[in-house]
Structure 1
Amino acid sequence: MFGPSEGYANKKSVAEIDKQLKKLQQEVKEAKEQQVKAASRNQEAQHYKNKTNMNLQYVLGQVDMVKGKMKDISGKIADTEKSLNQTAVQLDEAEARIASREKVLESRVRLMYTDGAVSYLDVLLSSNSFTDFLDRADSLKLIVDQDQDLLVQHKVDKQLVIDKKQELEGKYAQAKQLYTDLEEQRSLLKEKEKDKQELIAYYDKEIQDSDDISEEQNAKLVELASQRSNLEKEKDKLKAEEAARKAAAAKAEAARREAEAKKKAAKAAASTSSTAYAGGDGPLLRPVGAARISSPYGYRTHPVTGEVGKLHTGTDFAVAQGTSIHAADSGTVLVAEWWNGYGNCVIIDHGGGMWTLYGHIRDGGIKVKAGDHVSRGQVIAESGSTGRSTGPHLHFEVRIDGKPVNPMPYL
């Protein structure tokens, strides 16, 4: 995506370089706008994810409520099944009584059919004495009463059978509806759990996508800063050459312009030296002295996002809000402004492909601006907690050819 600018090997005019610088500035502006949008998406997705997790408590309450309903329904089903069993027993007993009486009635009918219809009056008139008459009358009354009672009980049991069958049908329908209600509650639980998982997965993807965009734009900003630095150097070189040509045309000004060109050349050589460092085990000065290291360079669980295995691209020094931050070495300021998750940030180009980065500077704490030349140990900013930060500290990076490396061997 980012190749070297065309024409580095060929001569260009200052106007052409200014045009390229203007184009780069527009790209920087667009990249930062993309970062702002990505940060907004990330924040919005995180908000709704948190809200979804909060709603989980409500869902769990609904789960408990549905479980309670399921328990009540299960109890009603058990009671209904018990009542069905009792009704079935009563129905069986009534049907058994009906079957027994029907046998008695059938035997009575067969007897009447084989012996013929015997008149109750004939039985009485065939009595041998008055006592025999009374005995026969009592016997006939007992038979009639038994027949009448048998018919009444037979009628009652038949109606009982009809009622119990209707009761059974109603209770079977009730049990069927209870089982249907139970299944509906189970389906409701599954649906709510599925919705919750889908929402959380969606917002997790939104957060990951916005982080990817932010990282991509961050890399783009680094590359644009490098291109801008190269163009500024070429522009300065062209201006020096133009000044030399003008000096050659005016003999009176030649000596002064030549001395000025030498002075500029010496300054440029000093700023591009990658080996002229001294002091300590490494070439760079510690930016906040002997402050405690709260988080070293390397892979870790991100303290803000919770992302596991995230590369921490620098070293964090635990310092109080407003602590003076010193330039690790002399160089030219490339960036002195808000920079994505770093918050307020300063980047210094020390030449030879080496940059140092100072992040999370407090609001109003930047003491330099882009294009300034700073000296080793110069106060360039004050520590803070801007950007993606959990508290006041200095995030310090060393970058070689734009890529972050472990800063400790360089300090």
Structure 2
Amino acid sequence: MKKIAAGLAVLLLAVTIFQPTDGYAKKTSVTEIDKQLKQLKQEVQAAKAQQEKAASRNQEAQHYKNKTNLNLQYVLEQVDLVKGKMTDISSKIAKTEDSLNVTATELDEAEARVASREKLLESRVRLMYTDGAVSYLDVLLSSTSFSDFLDRADSLKMIVDQDQDLLVQHKQDKQTVVVKKQQLEGQYAQAKQLYTDLESQRSMLKEKEDEKQELIAYYDKEIQESDEVSEEQNAKLVELASNRSALEQQKDKIKAEEAARKAAAVKAAAAKAEAARKAKANSSSSGSSGFSSAYEGGDGPFLLPVGSVRISSGYGKRTHPVTGEVGKMHTGVDFAVSQGTNIHAADAGTVIVAEWWSGYGYCVIIDHGGGMWTLYGHIREGGIKVKVGDHVDRGQTIAESGATGRVTGPHLHFEVRIDGQPVNPMPYL
């Protein structure tokens, strides 16, 4: 079921990713594609994070599985050891039972001997009782001769020794058999108890063995699931990479189209440049731009950064309004606007300067690609609304006009630069 679910997840992911691909072809904005690429980057990071998490989970499960396998091996060795001990104890129990059987036979024989001796002693006592109380001294004194006395003394000694031996043997036989039986019974009971203890230990080890087997099965499941997650994330990363490639190709296509459009605009602007310079030559020596009313713009690719306003100074050589230097090249156009007027990006691009910049005062420069920049100078202090690295859209507010830097009053100084070199901005507006 999990493999089916993973397959469905990959299929849904592929549908989700590839459905917008046709839509991307319809997009004409690099900004939109950059947003999609940013989203893809986040998805890639999330997929990699899931993959790393799955790999960590897999590694951890494998570690504990290996550890559990070692524990299981130890438990199995202990089980084998206990089984061996139980076999030895069983053998000892069997031998002890055989010894008990032998001892029982010996005890029966000893008891038979004891019974026989008891009968002999009883018969002797009975004989003495029947003959009367005859002392050993009476027997000796009734001797008829010295030799008879010696014979009687020897006979009496033999009787006494025999009786003494019978008593000693009777006591020893009985005591030996009883002690041996007690010892064997103790050994038998001890062996039985040891066997019972080993059986209990074996049962406990079997429980541990079952527990380890369950743990290994659990870790195997963890490893399998983490492998499935990793495979799913691999499929997702492949799809994301394919989608990113498609987006990058579309972005390159759009940039190429924009570069071609701007190149065409530059070519058209070149044709107008001579007319602009002639118009500039007809302006007054004071630097008058020749524009007495609001400039409405031409058919160039860039927006007017401050809308339709009067141009106070055009592009070209002039007498510098601050230094009074004659023939000083003015590298842009000045739009006569009041302090705090919103300044808009002439086109989409990336901010490469957003700070104080020499005589321009506070300044913003935007890179539009293809080696084309736009510059916005004399921004009021605190009026910069963007920072280096920001991507701005066409018409987006980037700053507020001011009078910072080398100026005589508030206005916007606007430049167009190609490969870093300023060109007449008029044909581009």
Could you say which TM-score interval applies, normalised by the shorter chain? 0.3 to 0.5
